[in-house]
Structure 1
């Protein structure tokens, strides 16, 4: 993937989404057909698209080839092509915030990375690292490829929501990003930020109304399977840079006008002294 091949990739993946929409319609799945058709619109910038199963897609907001600051958003449980619009709304809100606040002449881009099969919230897969272990190599590969487009001087921030923070925790070792942000995290599988073995600054936040605060932050071996994800990332024991997320709930971290979104914009732009803390 290079800057010169971006437009071709966008066009090819829009065509894939249009084909998937026709196939879904042919099978009577009107909801999936509508979701695929929306992704096939001429304005969409798709770096990847896979309509099989629950589906995967990677969408770009902004001019990726000329971006000085890039945010990659990794979603949590229950995110699929069928629920993609809410994930897209979050990424678009972040991009609008960046575009408003970036200094004149500074390029920004946001990448919505639905690059793995997310678990269902009410399922055993949501409390084990299996899906995250499967996703981590793909996330590492994606970020490595992203550097081929943006160049070595662009700042890349990874924003990881809910179960997505488990994915980021599994991928962190050797991941070439500048900042790693954990939002509404049940844990990363690591005991501390240092155990993630990343050169990135590690940030964490949890809204005052987020139910994930009630999740036991522990991990145990149950018949050979690890259940739970260890230390709470907003605890002092973990050692992340904890910032204010306001009083929002589990789905409110990218809400327009929220304290959390304002802080995320500051982190992505490197305005770290302006980030407000709890």
Structure 2
């Protein structure tokens, strides 16, 4: 719950008064110790005692300094909160004058309140930094801000990683070579599809393509979609032979899905791993603790980091593994039914996944344009709907 501007100013005033009192007491104590010599307290032992008393009193100067800094933070926050309060007041007055319920005014009020949440969180974090000797790292993962709703998380990430021209997305995580964004109303959606991208996905120039795919998936499933670029992806196909990026990324994906499950325990969760992203998703599901997903879909996969689907642990009511590779997808040249750098072909009969037939005219990048693929994703979002008989 936000604290109003007058309360913040009053608290800052009290801290300043108490800090001044502590400073006065510290100075009085120092003078009293110095005055011991005038009482006849002389000699080597007396000097050692006076020196020791000064050393013991020295830490008393730290709390007043911290209190004054905290008071400055509170005063600054109070000024910003007052401006937000005034903006909310003007927006409410505008809403009262509008005869109809205008969505624009509703969105404005929501955004202003969200900024208030961000201001509250930022103030608290700054106070922690002033009062905690251990450095506090800036939040880079969704789990780093468990008390903030997604709108506030988005505004906080926009401060450091602004993404313009895409008003329908929320930034959930942002850091160097990492970006996780949601399309659709993630907080109210019945299902969420996390899309794990592959080679070259860390290039910011490719973000619009990933967002368009997410919009397509969100529209097809009727839920939310997450573009998960939460790792430094291999830059090229030769670099994708390495397994270490998938191991590191698997831990990150596992943590992200766990936080989604904590925030929205009743959502249906689908993870789609494309290309090297399927290696990442498979690695996450084969790690200790498993992957919070009801369904794992491996498309255009060079392998899932395991030899059999039974080695993948999904944390869902009725977990299922699905695989699909278009016949014309060149990724098929890198993997066989029996072996591959990242394991056997997930569409091979011996792997144990539910195999979806690929598009005969499709290639490595056209899965998101395939109506049959999108329809099958839609099927996964409805637990009561039977799977197509071709499976």
Matched, 1:94 2:210: no
Matched, 1:168 2:168: no
**Equivalences for 1:75-224 in 2 at 5 Å?**
75-80=197-202, 81-99=204-222, 108-123=223-238, 125-151=239-265, 153-173=266-286, 174-199=290-315, 200-217=319-336
Q: Which runs of 5+ in 1 are unaligned?
A: 19-35, 100-107, 221-226
Match of 1:74 in 2: 196
Separation in 2, partners of 1:271, 1:208: 31
1:57, CA displacement in angstroms? Answer: 1.1
1:216, CA displacement in angstroms? Answer: 3.1
CA RMSD of aligned residues (A): 2.2
1:87, CA displacement in angstroms? Answer: 1.2
- Structure 1 residues 219 and 126: alpha-carbon distance in aligned structure 2, compared to 1, 3 A threshold: farther
- Structure 1 residues 169 and 76: alpha-carbon distance in aligned structure 2, compared to 1, 3 A threshold: same
Matched, 1:47 2:172: yes
Separation in 2, partners of 1:139, 1:45: 18
Report the more deviating stretch, 7-16 or 184-193. Answer: 7-16
- Structure 1 residues 182 and 271: alpha-carbon distance in aligned structure 2, compared to 1, 3 A threshold: farther
Q: Is the 8 A contact 1:162 1:185 kept in 2?
A: yes
Counterpart selection for 2:371 from 252, 255, 258: 258
Separation in 2, partners of 1:209, 1:189: 23
**Structure (1/2) with the larger strand percentage:** 1
1:84, CA displacement in angstroms? Answer: 1.3
- Structure 1 residues 276 and 10: alpha-carbon distance in aligned structure 2, compared to 1, 3 A threshold: farther
Counterpart selection for 1:246 from 356, 359, 379: 359
Q: Which runs of 4+ in 1 moved over 4 A?
A: 1-4
Partner SS for 2:349: coil
- Structure 1 residues 96 and 198: alpha-carbon distance in aligned structure 2, compared to 1, 3 A threshold: closer
**Equivalences for 1:4-43 in 2 at 5 Å?**
5-18=149-162, 36-38=163-165, 41-43=166-168
Answer with 1 or 2: which has the greater Rg. Answer: 2
Separation in 2, partners of 1:12, 1:98: 28
Q: TM (normalized to structure 1)?
A: 0.79
Q: Which runs of 5+ in 2 are unaligned?
A: 1-144
**Equivalences for 1:57-72 in 2 at 5 Å?**
57-72=179-194
- Structure 1 residues 121 and 258: alpha-carbon distance in aligned structure 2, compared to 1, 3 A threshold: farther
1:12, CA displacement in angstroms? Answer: 1.4
Any idea what the Cα deviations from partners look like across 1:141-170, whole Å, max 9, x if unmatched?
Answer: 10111112212x221111110100110111
**Structure (1/2) with the larger helix percentage:** 2
Q: TM (normalized to structure 2)?
A: 0.57
Separation in 1, partners of 2:335, 2:341: 8
Whose RCO is larger (CA < 8 A, sep 6+)? 1
Q: Is the 8 A contact 1:14 1:42 kept in 2?
A: no
Partner SS for 2:183: strand
